Structure 1
Amino acid sequence: MIAPCEKHRPGPAARTAARLSGRLPVLDTRRLQLRGPRIYDFDSFAAILCSDRAGYMGGPMTRAEAWAEFTNYTACWLLHGHGLWTIDAQTAPSAGFLVLGYEYTAPEAELGIFLTEGAEGQGIAEEALTAARAHAFDTLGWDSVVSYVAADNSRCLALMQRMGAQRDRDAEAAIGDRTLCVFRHRKGAA
């Protein structure tokens, strides 16, 4: 079922939303564009989070839970100046999503990514994460950012190592969740 809040509603409010979205930073790489989320991106977002693909992210979720995640990360733009990007690839529009934002219980901002099945294995994750990490360091002036990775997610663990992120055992101890590894990306490293 599609809830009324998921539907585009033409008119002055939709035009205001489009103007706001147009003010968000767009990151262009060789093959990708990271852009602010739009209402019609939610179907792809929910398709990922409501499926077994979300197993490493506390899912699968209900559509309502996915909507709460989508709106939380989208609201981060207004509240913090960073948030959710939709990843458009040359070969796959809405190939996935990248977040530079907060979960309610997270002690610091996270650099996270999740892709559609068809976008995996093409280097999209590394390319998108590299662009967003550079934005965090060069534009936002951060010295570090973390990625929370399920301890049994071997593909993501390997990705973090390729990117030069280092395990942060102190951060892991602080969150006290043995199922998560915390990888710290530091400015000037990698």
Structure 2
Amino acid sequence: MTAPVEQHRPGPGARTAARLGGKVPVIDTPRLQLRGPRIYDFDAFAEILCSDRAQHMGGPFSREAAWTDFAGYTALWMLHGHGLWTIDAQTQPSAGFVLVGYEYDDPEAELGIFLTETAEGQGIALEALEAARSYTFDNLRWTSVASFVDPENTRCIALMNRSGAERDRACEARLGDGTLVFRHHAPNPEDA
């Protein structure tokens, strides 16, 4: 069931939302565009979070809880200057989402990614993850960013390894809940 809050409402408010959304940085890669989320992206977001695809993220969630996450990750742009991007692939709009997120209990901001089922297995996750990671280093000027991973999420662990992220065992010990922490480091300018 679609709640009224999920529906596009034409008019001045929608135009204001479009202008604000246009302020979210757009990242173009060879096959993808990462762009600010729009209200019509929520269906793809809910498809992921309300299904077994969210099992390693504490889900599946109710549609209402998915909306709360969607709205919160989108609002991070206004609060912290980073947040949720929608991944548009050449073959599939709203193929998934990549974020530099910050949940209330997180010890630091997190680089995360989740895709729709049909977007799996095409290299989209790595391409989007690397683009968002570069944004944190080049634009936010961070020296590192963490990804928090459920130890049973073998696909995500493989992605982290392919991306060159390294386990941060000190951060894992501080968390103390079994979560794996993968640390992405900014390239050393001396290595360039």
Q: TM above 0.5, one fold?
A: yes
Aligned mates of 2:8, 2:154 — CA distance in 1: 38
1:163-184 CA-partner distances (Å, limit 9, x unpaired)? 1101001111111111x10000
Identity of aligned residues (%): 68
Q: Report deviation, 1:188.
A: 1.0
In structure 2, the gaps of 5 or more residues are: none
**1:148 maps to amino acid:** F
Q: What residue number does 1:112 align with? A: 112
Normalising by structure 2, what TM-score?
0.96
Cα distance in 2 for partners of 1:165, 1:90 equals 27
**Pairwise CA distance, 1:154:** 1.0
TM-score (norm 1): 0.97
**2:86 corresponds to:** 86
Inter-partner Cα distance in structure 2 for 1:71 and 1:105: 17
How many pairs are equivalent? 189
Cα distance, 1:3 vs structure 2: 1.1
Quote the offset at 1:162 in angstroms. Answer: 1.1
1:93 is paired with a residue whose SS is strand
Q: Deviations over 1:27-55 (max 9, x none)?
A: 00000000000001001100100001100
> What is residue 69 of structure 2 aligned with on the other side?
69
Q: Distance in 2 between matches of 1:187 and 1:97?
A: 22
Task: Within 5 Å, give how 1:10-49 maps onto structure 2.
Answer: 10-49=10-49
Distance 1:173 1:9 in 2: 47
Q: Distance in 2 between matches of 1:75 and 1:48?
A: 20
Which amino acid in the other structure matches residue 120 of structure 2?
E
Letter in 1 for 2:116: T
Find the counterpart in structure 2 of residue 181 from structure 1: 180
CA deviations over 1:89-120 (Å, ceiling 9, x no partner): 01111100011110110010000000001100
The aligned counterpart of 1:132 is 132
Aligned mates of 1:58, 1:147 — CA distance in 2: 15
Q: Please name the residue that 2:165 is paired with.
A: 165
Give the whole-Å Cα distance in 1 for the aligned partners of 2:42 and 2:115: 13
**Moved runs in structure 1, 4+ residues, more than 2 A?**
none
